[in-house]
């Protein structure tokens, strides 16, 4: 599995990862960048201050807008979802289909630990029910909640080391048979759940209890029997417990119009065994504890039969497409920069206009990508984030990469645009030739579903536009 910088889902997670592995790395990188700037042509070096420069400030400068550009859609690499901790709070289960992008599915692998590590020594234990409850995260729910779904709960059949590194395309070993499922379920992520209890705790009496909005799936009673049969040795440590109970894997098997999100940190999220111990009601709760258990979303994409299927891998100039959850990205090749070689780049801004027609066709059930990232496609196959984006994330230097979806006026129309400052990247690229290739992806490829269709460089009204303000070096 290739593990270049491109596997990181966002600059925030990349920064966190590097600091955790070696806190000196980013400090040295930042100091080196600052020293390089301060030791250059001076604080007015136009290749550095490009983010603040406007045309009126560009004395003795020139403007270039005429470049050769083409694009091609590509399937992006998997992203790192877990490395001793989860890299997201967006834990989704579901499947969503549209004609343009095809089908995206998100499964969820979870480990659990006993809330209170102890063994019930009652002589007579009888299982009442085993329930997996997952608190909805209504802010990250996508799609049409009125459409019914089926969800299966499988078992992780082997010990998954919780100190391992796992990617969004991981294939965890799971059971062939489900240990529980829910059929024709209608998600209600904003509606509290009502339970009616009698005096004995059975759900057919008069007392009413309101629970947080949650998904509740009844699991096989045999799982409860197994969990309560663990002896003291099996529960005395986290590692011992996980060796005996690998965890659960959730997968939607019917329905393709929604992707539900869950809050795994909520007290309402638990695997609970309800039972009678010598005639007394008892419960055991098992929790997906943050930083102590595996919590990994798994993404799959199927483009077969989609409108974009035949465009993947083909150079063209009509479109740019970006997709969340480690889906499609777009390579943008910019050539025809010979005139810029040997110059100082004061400012380079790339602007892309959102194709709002796709958003309207999608009925706003699946959101547009709200922020873009850019990586440089290198000859050795690596795809590092461009310097402008890294510096914005990792230092306090006033450079604004941008990339966020905003409203702007283009050709007299108010449209949605992404605008990126690529000044430093372009100056670096010109040292190696007269063209550069960028990979355009969502700023976060993990935990945030979404799609954006963007007009390509060949569009007659809203083409991808690169505007470069530059200064020619003066002869000494």
Q: Which residues, other chains included, contact 101 with Cβ-Cβ below 8 Å and sequence gap of 6+? A: 303, 306, 308, 321, 323, 327, 328, 451
Reported confidence tier of residue 475, pLDDT bands at 50, 70, 90: low
Which helix (H) or strand (E) segment holds residue 182: the answer is: strand 180-185
Contact 387, 424 (CB under 8 A): yes
Burial of 222 (0-12, 13-18, 19+ CB in 10 A): exposed
In whole angstroms, give the CA distance from residue 288 to residue 110.
Answer: 7
In whole angstroms, give the CA distance from residue 44 to residue 64.
Answer: 21
* Secondary structure (3-state) at 311: helix
In whole angstroms, give the CA distance from residue 303 to residue 143.
Answer: 19
Choose among 219, 108, 220, 224: nearest CA to 174.
108
pLDDT at 362: 67
Q: CA–CA distance from 6 to each of 9, 18, 288, 426 (Å)?
A: 8, 14, 29, 19
Asked whether the predicted pLDDT for residue 411 surpasses 50, the reply is yes
pTM: 0.85
Asked whether the predicted pLDDT for residue 215 surpasses 80, the reply is yes
| Mean pLDDT, rounded, for 78-103 | 94
**DSSP secondary structure string for all residues of 336-374:** --GGGTTEEEEEEEEEEEB-HHHHHHTTTSSPPP-BEEE
Q: CA–CA distance from 292 to each of 84, 236, 238 (Å)?
A: 8, 15, 8
* Secondary structure (3-state) at 122: coil
Asked whether the predicted pLDDT for residue 129 surpasses 60, the reply is yes
pLDDT at 207: 75
Instruction: Render pLDDT for 160-208 as a digit per residue (tens, 0 to 9).
Output: 999 999 999 999 999 999 999 999 999 999 999 887 765 554 555 557 8
pLDDT at 365: 74
Asked whether the predicted pLDDT for residue 55 surpasses 80, the reply is no
| Mean pLDDT, rounded, for 90-115 | 96
Choose among 107, 151, 137, 96: nearest CA to 449.
96
pLDDT at 473: 75
Percent of the chain with pLDDT over 90: 73
| Mean pLDDT, rounded, for 11-33 | 49
Q: What share of the chain is helix, strand, coil (3-state, %, to 5)?
A: 20, 40, 40
Q: CA–CA distance from 202 to each of 199, 205, 282, 391 (Å)?
A: 7, 7, 13, 59
Every domain of the chain and the residues it spans: 5-76+327-472, 80-302
Cα distance from N-terminal residue to C-terminal residue, the chain: 52
In whole angstroms, give the CA distance from residue 140 to residue 174.
Answer: 26
The 3-class SS string of 448-474 reads CCCEEEEECCCCCCCCCEEEEEEEECC
| Mean pLDDT, rounded, for 42-51 | 38
Mean pLDDT (the chain) is 87
Instruction: Render pLDDT for 274-311 as a digit per residue (tens, 0 to 9).
Output: 999 999 999 999 999 999 999 999 999 999 999 999 99
């Amino acid at each position: 599995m290739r593990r270049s910088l491109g596997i990181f889902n966002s600059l925030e997670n990349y920064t966190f990862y590097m600091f955790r592995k070696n806190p000196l790395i980013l400090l040295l990188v930042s100091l080196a960048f600052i020293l390089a700037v301060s030791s250059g042509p001076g604080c007015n070096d136009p290749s550095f201050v490009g983010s603040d420069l406007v045309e009126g400030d560009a004395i003795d400068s020139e403007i270039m807008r005429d470049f050769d550009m083409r694009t091609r859609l590509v399937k992006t690499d998997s992203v790192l979802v877990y490395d001793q901790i989860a890299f997201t709070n967006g834990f989704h289960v579901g499947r969503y289909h549209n004609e343009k992008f095809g089908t995206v599915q998100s499964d969820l692998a979870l480990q659990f630990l006993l809330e209170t590590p102890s063994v019930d020594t009652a002589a007579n234990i009888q299982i009442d029910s085993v329930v997996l409850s997952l608190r909805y995260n209504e802010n990250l729910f996508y799609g049409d909640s009125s459409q019914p779904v089926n969800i299966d709960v499988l078992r992780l059949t082997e010990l998954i080391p919780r100190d391992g590194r796992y990617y969004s395309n991981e294939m965890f070993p799971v059971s062939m048979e489900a240990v529980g499922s829910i059929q024709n379920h209608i998600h209600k992520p904003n509606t509290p759940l009502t339970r009616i209890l009698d005096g004995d705790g059975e759900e057919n009496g008069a007392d009413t209890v309101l629970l947080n909005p949650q998904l509740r799936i009844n699991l096989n009673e045999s799982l409860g029997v197994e969990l309560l049969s663990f002896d003291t040795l099996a529960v005395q440590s986290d590692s011992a417990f996980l060796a005996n109970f690998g965890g659960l894997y959730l997968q939607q098997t019917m329905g393709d119009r929604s992707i539900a999100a869950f809050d795994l940190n909520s007290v309402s999220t638990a695997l609970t065994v309800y039972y009678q111990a010598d005639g007394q009601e008892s419960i055991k709760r098992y929790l997906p504890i943050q930083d102590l258990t595996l919590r990994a979303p798994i993404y799959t994409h199927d483009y077969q039969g989609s409108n974009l299927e035949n465009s993947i891998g083909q150079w063209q100039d009509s479109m740019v497409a970006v997709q969340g959850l480690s889906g499609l990205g777009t390579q943008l090749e910019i050539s025809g920069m010979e005139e810029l070689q040997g110059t100082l780049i004061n400012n380079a801004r790339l602007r892309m206009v959102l194709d709002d027609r796709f958003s309207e066709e999608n009925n706003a059930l699946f959101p547009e990508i709200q922020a873009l990232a850019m990586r440089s496609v290198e000859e050795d196959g690596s795809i590092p984030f461009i310097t402008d984006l890294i510096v914005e994330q990792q230092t306090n230097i006033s450079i604004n990469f941008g990339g966020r979806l905003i409203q702007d006026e283009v050709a007299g129309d108010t449209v949605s645009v992404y605008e990126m400052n690529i000044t430093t990247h372009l100056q670096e690229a010109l040292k190696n030739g007269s063209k550069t290739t960028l990979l355009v992806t969502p700023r976060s490829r993990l935990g945030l579903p979404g799609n954006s269709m963007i007009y390509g460089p060949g569009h007659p009204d809203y083409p991808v536009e690169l505007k470069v303000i530059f200064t020619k070096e003066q002869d000494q």
